[in-house]
Chains A and B, each alone.
Chain A
Amino acid sequence: MGSLPGRISVKSAPAAETQELELLRRVQAGDNERFYELVRPYERRIFAAAFAILGNEADAEDAAQEAMLKAFAHIREFRGEARFSTWLTQITVNEALMRRRKQRPELIESLGERPDKEGNYTPRDFADWREIPSETLERKEIREKLVESLASLKQAYREVFVLRDVENLTIEETAEVLGISCASVKTRLLRARLMLRDLLAPGFGGGARSRSAFEKGIKPW
């Protein structure tokens, strides 16, 4: 009952992996022109990672481009310990975090000071939410609302949520990319998910309780 269908086996098919490995070898051997071919399948993923951290499209695009140039510069150091997509994501996250620190140092919360001592998060809203997910995504206003809600989370929660739930990295990979412990990932993930649910559930809900919340204009969208 509890598992998330379709999220466990995100690995690509063996044939695709072999193909990627072959392409990677060629690029590492100097076939530079095929580098774009190698990163192309992950464009959306790297953009989303940069966007989640930087919060606007133009900066995210620039950071994603820059990150791919860095990935190329270090391509021969990639030894296949992690998935190639994870490696690219890690470079992109690092690039985006570096830019963020440079651009708006005053906005960076010093996370080290209060390591997960935020206390337990209590859901504020118990609206039912039974709409079928895949159908709702076809509506532009829904997508916008999801992106906007995500953007409203604090950086520490947003990063973890994006890597785990948007990019589908594992808990361990998320911890590694961000340089934090698995325990911190889990704590922040819980909080991020519960906060997002509070932001979104009233609008998605079909029950009387959520309709009343909607009418009261609590989350009018």
Chain B
Amino acid sequence: MVVNCEQVWQEISNYLEGEVDPELRAAMEEHFKQCQHCTAVLDGTRNLVQLYGDGKLFELPAGFSRRLERRLRQSLPPPRPTSGSFWMIAVAAAALLAGGLTLARSGGLSSPELRSAHAQPGRGVPGDMVVAVSKEGKTFHVPGCKYLHQSDKEKVKLLAASEAMREGYVPCLRCLRRYLNR
């Protein structure tokens, strides 16, 4: 098998990847022995692959790590409670929920403004904020919000607020109040 320069150029990348069959490889190697141009192309290509792959090329901007860590710290929910404290929170949530229902029956939470507020898309909520939803629920919450359905705790998932909105969830009136009616 004999190959010409053009054939060598078209296969040079695969050659470097070790992805040419033995016959072609042998023919290319034979060609390199005789052709200075193709050897120059091969050496140069190999050199640049090594340079770019070195890992030193892209320097992180100064302060990148610090800013990433800070943004994660600000946006991620606090660690989930351990099983011990979970029950305390569950009890507290149940108590608050009971209180909320009483309030709702007395007319406080069922006023028209609040309902319409509930239906508004969470435009004021930062899209990248990590929020929690449950499959059964219709609202998204700050993770750990007492009004998140705790009964199906295993089905709670975390996602970006923008995605929650895309999936049709509306913001929780309690934990996300400060972002609403803007």
Contacts and interface: CB of A to CB of B under 8 A. Distances in A.
Contacts of B68: 36, 39, 43, 64-65, 68
Contacts of B47: 129-131, 133, 204
Interface residues of A, number: 66
| Chain A binding surface SS class | helix
A118 B15 CA distance: 21
Interface size class of B (residues with CB under 8 A): 35 or more
A146 B40 contact: no
Interface string A118-154: 0011110011111101101100000100110010000
Contacts of B16: 2-4, 193
A165 interface: yes
Contacts of A35: 72, 76
B44 A143 contact: no
Contact of B41 (A31, A131, A165, A197): A197
A137 B53 CA distance: 11
29 contacts: A4-B50, A6-B50, A31-B79, A35-B76, A36-B68, A36-B72, A44-B58, A47-B58, A47-B60, A47-B61, A48-B58, A61-B67, A65-B68, A66-B128, A69-B76, A72-B76, A73-B159, A75-B158, A126-B40, A128-B40, A130-B43, A166-B52, A166-B58, A171-B17, A186-B13, A186-B19, A190-B10, A197-B41, A200-B44
